[in-house]
Structure 1
Amino acid sequence: MLVSIASARSGNAVAGGGLGGLMGSGTPLTEWGSVLGLARFPDGHIGGVADGEWYRLVTAMFLHYGVLHLLLNMWALWVLGRTLEAVLGPLRFLALYLLAGLGGNVAAYVFTEPNRFTAGASTAVFGLFAAIFVIMRRLGRDTSAIVPILVINLIFTFTVPSISVAGHLGGLVAGAVVSLILAYAPRSRRTAFQVAGCALVLVALIGLTLVRTAALLG
């Protein structure tokens, strides 16, 4: 976040965007790393995932628009991540986080206008919301407190104009699929099943990216 603000050389990076100015504006760093389908930049060059900048599908989940954007996502990650990592272990939790974030970014790439920037850890955070519901149900624990929080976040997703609906819903779906694979793997072949399942999710996301790229370049 500090690097992003420094690259902007402007206070707008801190609090110049949506939600009454609290969400922050774009910076050269978010311009470089956010999800972007295909667009022409002011200096005339063309960039975006369809132009070969696939790294955007990963870097976007580590960039934020403003301090409030960052703090909200980090708070959610702290609350959800501690529980999930304790249950899954660090490696499985990392796989869940990365695939959920990637899933949300691929969904943003596929379903968002090609010239719109999207970024934030919320794609992965929504995947964690789905995962904690699935895994807690698998463990037989009460999930009644999770549903209202998820509903509130979905309301924000659909009512705040600057939020990527596709990114949030894509992360939610990807997180649900990965958590089902992790939670319901057969005990006798658990690791092999989980690795194969997560690999299939990754292949599916790559396939969707290739289809969208062909459509944009066609």
Structure 2
Amino acid sequence: MVTTLTLQQVDFYEPDNFWIGPRAADLVHLGAKFTPCMRKDRRIHDSIAKDRRKERTTACCIRNDRSGCVQTSRDKCSEVISTWRKWNVSQPGPPRWVADPSAVGSDRSVTQRRLSGSVCGQDPRYCEEPASVFPYEWPDDITRWPVCRRPQWSRKAPDAHMSCEVVGRPCCIGVYGECHITTRDYCDFVRGFFHEEAALCSQVSCLNDVCGMIPFHNPEVPDQFYRLWTSLFLHAGIFHLTITVIVQLFVMRDLEKLAGPVRTAIIYISSGVAGNLASAIFVPYRAEVGPAGSQFGLLACLFVEVIHCWQMLKRPSSAFLKLVAVAVALFTIGLLPWVDNYAHLFGFIFGFLLAYALLPFVSFGSYDRTTKVVLICLCLVVAVALFLGLVVLFYVHPIYECSFCHYFNCLPITRAPFYFLLDLDSGDATLLTLALRCGRRGGGGRLAQRVFLSSRFAHMLAIHFLLAMRYGVTLLPFGSWMAIRPFTPGCAISRLQKTCYDRFKYYFQFSPFF
């Protein structure tokens, strides 16, 4: 059941977790590293602000047969079977008292009529808590209305928007703060967060629902910085946990015997936190869990051990080259999808610096000892400076535009794009998040797009083959039309990609997201 009070077939695609574990949205809710939950993201905040500006123009759409009503815009309210009740100058809403600075005496207020609204199931005149009384009246802006905790709702109310049955409520969908007015059936189907108590999307905080854990101190400013270490103890699935157990059993156990539990814990946690912080900077819109940075910090400890014992080993260069080969192989694996190379790199760097400073060493003479003490102090200073630099990049000067950063984390090795992102948004129909790349002629990077799927299969299938043969662009063959909109995190659009966009806009109904 959808807000049109009809039964419709709805598709919902969700990528499988090949680690055999929870969904990405569930991992975010449990404490995964996810930048939008840790700081105020400009792109997501601008998108939410844009949705609120659109919500100011909505009103209550009431079915003429009084079978239900829903808050929507004018173009989505059928003029044949419904009535769109919008307050305006010719048909104003209820009065409100506002302060009159020019008045003298006890009566310093004047009456004005409301123009923002109406809202299905909510009205300042029908709410006891919080009551709309002067000087605490609700503003003439529905996006600033509070949630009514004690409504005076009645089917016999003279106002149609208060006596109708509200069939749509705010539903938070996806992991980027999206909100849609929809039915509970649809919201449950797409695994969203349904808000029965609210009437407008501006009355809910979808990021709070997605992030979970401790609520934000300010609902508009995410502040869950502690995800940098909580994500170290979460795993994406059974296979992921198995890899961690193997590393800890065969590497970390011997290292703990050598250096002790305190030093090992400092290296393990610090490397993981630093790796997660770097990952949150360069790959902000992917949920990540697991001690990837910590494990590479342990690998760095092996390098430090070889350096410390260089004069005591029979073939030190051979041992060092073996470790280099292992590190190169692991970094190469990190170029594949779902593996975070930024956490690997910075976890390795911090692990090396801290291991050189904390692991016990053998000195050969006073000069060698003095040199190593100086290097220990230098490593500690560099580690602190590097961490502070990452903090500045994360909070003070965040990186929003980086056309080449994704190549270090996921190298595009195929012509036809198939790299699906971890997270999925869903709107009025199926919203599938995927990465598209103009191949063959294109060179250049990926263009993250959002594909809006509808019905009728044949026409879209023909256009799919046309694009694939002519431009090397692959689109999923669902529906007779699709609106291609740049994905919220955004990427730079190359000249060829813009050519693809312009060339086929005759066939598609394009609606740019920004």
TM over 0.5: yes
Instruction: Please name the residue that 2:231 is paired with.
Output: 60
**Structure 1: segments with no counterpart, 5+ residues:** 1-14
CA contact 1:138–1:183 (8 Å) conserved in 2: no
The amino acid across from 1:56 in the alignment is R
Instruction: Please name the residue that 1:127 is paired with.
Output: 297
Give the superposition deviation at 1:62: 1.0
Matches within 5 A, 1:194-213: 201=383, 204-213=386-395
CA contact 1:30–1:63 (8 Å) conserved in 2: no
Instruction: Please name the residue that 2:328 is paired with.
Output: 151
After superposition, the Cα gap between the structure-2 partners of 1:92 and 1:29, relative to the gap in structure 1 and judged at 3 Å, is: same
Give the superposition deviation at 1:170: 1.3
Give the superposition deviation at 1:149: 2.4
Q: Are 2:33 and 1:35 aligned? A: yes
Q: Are 2:270 and 1:99 aligned? A: yes
Greater RCO between the two (CA within 8 Å, min separation 6)? 1
Instruction: Please name the residue that 1:116 is paired with.
Output: 286
Cα RMSD after superposing both structures: 3.4
The amino acid across from 1:131 in the alignment is C
- Higher Cα Rg, which structure: 2
CA distance in 1, matches of 2:395, 2:327: 32
The amino acid across from 1:26 in the alignment is A
CA contact 1:127–1:176 (8 Å) conserved in 2: yes
Q: Are 2:340 and 1:170 aligned? A: no
The amino acid across from 2:24 in the alignment is G
**Could you say which structure has the higher helix fraction?**
1
After superposition, the Cα gap between the structure-2 partners of 1:77 and 1:107, relative to the gap in structure 1 and judged at 3 Å, is: same
After superposition, the Cα gap between the structure-2 partners of 1:23 and 1:138, relative to the gap in structure 1 and judged at 3 Å, is: farther
CA contact 1:31–1:117 (8 Å) conserved in 2: no
CA distance in 1, matches of 2:378, 2:30: 32
CA contact 1:110–1:209 (8 Å) conserved in 2: no
CA distance in 1, matches of 2:332, 2:379: 31
The Cα offsets for residues 126-147 of structure 1, whole Å up to 9 and x where unpaired, read as 1111111112321234424433
Give the superposition deviation at 1:201: 3.2
CA contact 1:36–1:115 (8 Å) conserved in 2: yes
- Tell me the secondary structure at the aligned position of residue 266 of structure 2: helix
The amino acid across from 2:244 in the alignment is N
Give the superposition deviation at 1:169: 1.0
The Cα offsets for residues 36-91 of structure 1, whole Å up to 9 and x where unpaired, read as 11163455433679721111011111111111011112211221112211221111
TM-score w.r.t. length of structure 1? 0.74
Instruction: Please name the residue that 1:46 is paired with.
Output: 207
CA distance in 1, matches of 2:19, 2:230: 22
After superposition, the Cα gap between the structure-2 partners of 1:45 and 1:126, relative to the gap in structure 1 and judged at 3 Å, is: same
- Tell me the secondary structure at the aligned position of residue 34 of structure 1: coil
CA contact 1:178–1:198 (8 Å) conserved in 2: yes
- Tell me the secondary structure at the aligned position of residue 52 of structure 1: coil
Matches within 5 A, 1:62-81: 62-81=233-252
The amino acid across from 1:82 in the alignment is R
Instruction: Please name the residue that 1:5 is paired with.
Output: none
The Cα offsets for residues 178-215 of structure 1, whole Å up to 9 and x where unpaired, read as 11222488969x99x97996587357425522431223
**Structure 2: segments with no counterpart, 5+ residues:** 1-14, 37-43, 45-175, 179-192, 194-204, 364-368, 401-514
The amino acid across from 1:89 in the alignment is G
After superposition, the Cα gap between the structure-2 partners of 1:102 and 1:22, relative to the gap in structure 1 and judged at 3 Å, is: closer
Instruction: Please name the residue that 2:24 is paired with.
Output: 26
Residues paired across the two proteins, number:
197
Instruction: Please name the residue that 2:253 is paired with.
Output: 82
